[in-house]
Amino acid sequence: MFANLSDRLTETFRNLRGKGRLTEADIDGTIREIRRALLDADVAVPVVRTFTGNIRERALGAEVSGALNPGQQVVKIVNEELVAILGGEARQLRFAKNGPTVIMLAGLQGAGKTTLAGKLAHHLKQQGHTPLLVAADLQRPNAVTQLKVVGERAGVPVFAPEAGVTREDERPRGNPVKVAKKGLKEAEQRQHSVVIVDTAGRLGIDQELMKQASDIRKAVEPDEVLFVIDAMIGQDAVATATAFQEGVDFTGVVLTKLDGDARGGAALSVAEVTGRPIMFASTGEKLDDFEVFHPDRMASRILDMGDILTLIEQAERTFDQAEAERMAEKVTKGEDFTLADFLSQMQQLKNMGSMKKMLTMLPGMGQIRDQIENFDERELVRTEAIIQSMTPAERDNPKILNGSRRSRIAAGSGMQVSDVNSLVKRFEQAQQMMRAMSRGGGMPGMPGMPGAGGAPGAFGGLPGGKKSKGKQAPQRKVKGKSGNPAKRAQQEAEARNRTTSAPAAAPGSAFGLGQPAPEEVDISSLGGDLGKYLGR
């Protein structure tokens, strides 16, 4: 969503690199480009004025003028101001001390309240809560049915005593206020820890909508009122949020459809204008495409600095701990990495979600955004099909894959033999890397860790100990060589003594620590009849 804004800001900061000093004209030019980028992203005009004004004031101050790298200092200021307008810090849900915690959802029709109700319930269920969904939207056609479907997918019960409207031309039936009150009683009787009330919306702001939402709030006295807003709404986000704040007085904001391709200015406007924190973000259609909103992490994504913490959290939620321990033990013992292991690791990677989303969380990925967008997610499915078409013996020992076996595997997976060959080649590279790690040498092409032996290719730059084709480090030459053979021999001997006087780096000790001192070099052992030149 923030791709265009991120590209514009990154390009603006690139112009500041390498400048040892920033003039007022440089800063004004940078502020001007930032202002244009924010306005193009549909950020509200008052927010843009406040944001750029704060940046200019700080950029002209001592923290930039006295910095060793003023360009980086400006980026730091922009990052901090972005975090500020996004809310400052993440705020967690407030849970009731006694009885069930009541969460009411409010917002316009089409913002995604019903889907979000299921995602929030799923999120709370994973944290050990027992949520109950209450279908109080009796106006939108099939809203009650949709909530039942979403609740079933999330594995959460739905309280729906009224069927609601099922056709466009049907008049609303039932009382949503009474449904909300009954839902709260039901939760108390069944001892649910959280109640999530899904309310009706409208295509636009009107008095009937606000009165109904206000009546439901008075009836159930919610601990949290979450305003659900479509992140693609643009400049209307501020007017809509302000109207709901006056009519319902929400306590937090939830952004939906953050995976869209709109300009996303709503995310940078709502928190600043309303003074209410953005608490959650919906980033896709799946139940797991839901995350706690962290202003600092979102600011890092916008500035193309990545979001490693969110990526780690996703890995911790989805990776099988037992499988990870099994692989770690296998690497420690030096056992070979097999295609069965390769399949297992790939399936765990798939469980983390979209590869494209994960790649965009890495720093600097904005520079290769086109390649990421062109990445085919189905490639993982094809690879999985190829491996699953192999026998257990073939997965454990790919060396037995002759021509006929590869043809059979290609036919069984619906792929070409060239695809099978490509997979086997990639697997061999992964296997080499795992062998290097098991020997303690780290990744191929990287020096071994202290206290561990070097792996194949550890210092050559390529797996298998081959030397890199790049430039080699120049050998140290002895300066001022004498033309006298005796003196030159003595100089070379002294140079060797200086070289060997330092502790030698033995295998298993990258820094040469704890090694015995080398023996003194005997000049006479250098070969040749040098005694006559040394007066012996």
93 domain-assigned: no
Q: Are the C-beta atoms of residues 241 and 205 closer than 8 Å to each other?
A: no
**Is residue 201 part of an annotated ligand binding site?**
yes
238 and 300 within one domain: yes
| CATH code of the domain containing 386 | 1.10.260.30
Q: Is residue 115 part of a domain?
A: yes
Q: Which residue among 397, 416, 438 closes a domain?
A: 438
199 has binding-site annotation? yes
Q: Are residues 222 and 137 in the same domain?
A: yes
**Residues 456 and 432: beta-carbon distance below 8 Å:** yes
Burial 372-382 (b: 16+ CB within 10 A, else e): beeeeeeeeee
Helix H, strand E, coil C: the string for 358-404 is HHHCCCCHHHHHHHHHCCCCHHHHHHHHHHHCCCHHHHHCHHHCCHH
Residue 94 lies in a domain: no
This prediction's pTM: 0.62
111 among the known binding-site residues? yes
Give CA separation, 211 vs 18, 85, 216, 325, 403, in Å.
Answer: 58, 30, 9, 56, 73
- Nearest CA-CA partner of 338 in 406, 279, 391: 391
| Range of the structural domain that residue 378 is part of | 314-438
132 is in an annotated binding site: no
Task: Confirm or deny that 360 is annotated as ligand binding.
Answer: no
Known binder of ligand: residue 109? yes
Neighbours of 325 (CB within 10 A): 10
**Beta-strand relationship, 158-159 and 194-198:** unpaired
Let me know whether 118 and 237 are in one domain.
yes
pLDDT of residue 88: 81
Indicate whether 113 belongs to any domain.
yes
CATH number, domain of 268, equals: 3.40.50.300
* Residue 339 near residue 394, CB atoms below 8 Å: yes
Of 282, 304, 326, which residue is a domain's last? 304
Classify residue 232: in a domain, yes or no.
yes
Asked if the structure places residue 355 within a domain, the reply is yes
338 annotated as belonging to a binding site for a ligand: no
Domain identity same for 166 and 147? yes
| Pair 193, 114 in one domain | yes
Q: Are 279 and 294 in contact (CB under 8 A)?
A: no
256 annotated ligand binder: yes
| Residue 114 counted as an annotated binding residue | yes
Specify if 490 maps to a domain: no
Decide if 270 is inside a domain.
yes
- pLDDT (tens digit, 0 to 9) for every residue of the chain, 536 residues total? 567 777 788 888 877 776 777 788 888 888 898 888 888 887 888 888 898 999 888 888 766 666 667 777 888 888 888 888 888 888 889 998 888 999 999 988 888 899 999 999 999 999 999 999 999 988 888 889 999 999 999 999 999 998 887 777 677 778 899 999 999 999 999 999 999 999 988 777 778 878 888 899 999 999 999 999 887 776 677 788 888 888 888 999 998 887 765 566 766 788 888 888 899 988 888 888 888 888 888 888 777 766 666 666 666 666 666 766 776 676 667 677 788 888 887 777 777 767 767 776 676 666 666 676 777 777 888 888 999 999 989 988 888 989 899 999 999 999 999 999 988 888 888 778 777 766 654 444 333 333 333 333 332 333 333 333 444 444 444 445 555 666 666 777 776 655 444 444 333 333 333 334 444 444 444 444 444 434 44
**Torsion angle of the four alpha carbons 518, 523, 527, 528, in this order, in degrees rounded to the nearest 10:** 180
What integer pLDDT is reported at residue 134 of this predicted model?
A: 94
> Do 289 and 188 belong together in one domain?
yes
> Into how many domains does the chain fold?
3
Q: Is 350 annotated as a binding residue?
A: no
Residue 174, annotated as binding a ligand = no
DSSP β-bridge partners for residue 225? 104
252 annotated as a binding-site residue? no
∠ CA 232-1-355, nearest 5°, is: 130
Give residue 515's pLDDT: 38
Residue 20 has which token pair? 């040892």
248 and 122 within one domain: yes
| 453 appears as a binding residue in the annotation | no
Q: Output 21-28 pairs: Cβ under 8 A, ≥24 positions apart.
A: 21/65, 21/70, 22/59, 22/64, 22/65, 22/70, 22/71, 22/74, 24/60, 27/56, 27/59, 27/60, 27/64, 27/74, 28/56
Q: Same domain for 125 and 273?
A: yes
198 is in an annotated binding site: yes
Q: Pick from 304, 332, 362: which residue ends a domain?
A: 304
Q: In the 8-state DSSP scheme, what is residue 222?
A: -
Same domain as 412, residue 318? yes
Domain match, 119 and 180 both? yes
319 and 299 part of one domain:
no
Same structural domain, 149 and 256: yes
